[in-house]
Amino acid sequence: MKARRAPLAGRDGRRDRRTRGLRTERTEQTRGDTRDADQFPLGLDLEQAKSSTQAMERDIVSRIPADEVAAVDQHEKGTLFSCIDGGHSWLGGTMVTLVPGVNAEDVVRAIEAGFAGDRFDIRTRQDIDGDYEVQLVAQTDDRENYIIARYKADDTISISSASPCFTLPDGVYPGGEF
């Protein structure tokens, strides 16, 4: 009599499809992206996407009058996030500490006004804390965007960024910091 392999099963003895899905998903992620580099509008690689996104973060900061800025902390590393159409986006951020007495919402609104007519569509909303938030979304289909808002402290502005989508090289696992 031939031995049969038991199917993957959970504690209740039923086949656990979630476990199989996780294994399959992880295997696919380590194979790189399914789209060719030329399918993304800008054709960037990871380093180019990170570099251009961090440069844009610095451009946003440069639009704040220097006498209103106490400190700038641009995160050197970020993470990768899957794009809806395949590929990945590099996510980063910068924190801007304002000089005491400078109103963070006024600064966010001035940044918004400075980008009017630029290469971004501008979206605004009130965040969960009721603070004014601006999102700059690239007018192309490359998914590049930046969210500028008051951070938890009254004197701090957060710039959250997402690079244009790009193809992750084969063999590069998208977990961790980049």
The 10s digit of each residue's pLDDT in 17-63 is 322 222 223 323 333 444 444 455 557 899 999 999 999 999 999 99
* pLDDT per position as a tens digit, 100-140: 999 999 999 999 999 998 889 999 999 888 899 999 999 88
Radius of gyration of the chain (CA): 21
How high is the pLDDT of residue 140? 80
| Contact in structure between 150 and 104 (CB atoms under 8 Å) | yes
71 has pLDDT over 90: yes
DSSP string, 103-172: -HHHHHHHHHHHTTTSSEEEEEEE-TTS-EEEEEEESSSS--EEEEEE-SSTTEEEEEEEPPPBPPPTT-
What are the residue ranges spanned by the domains of the chain? Answer: 30-162
pLDDT above 60: residue 10: no
Q: Is the pLDDT of residue 15 over 50?
A: no
CATH topology for 30-162 is: TBP-like (3.30.2030)
Residue 81 CA to residue 87 CA, distance in Å, equals: 9
**Contact (CB, 8 A) for 123 and 64:** no
- What pLDDT does residue 5 have? 36
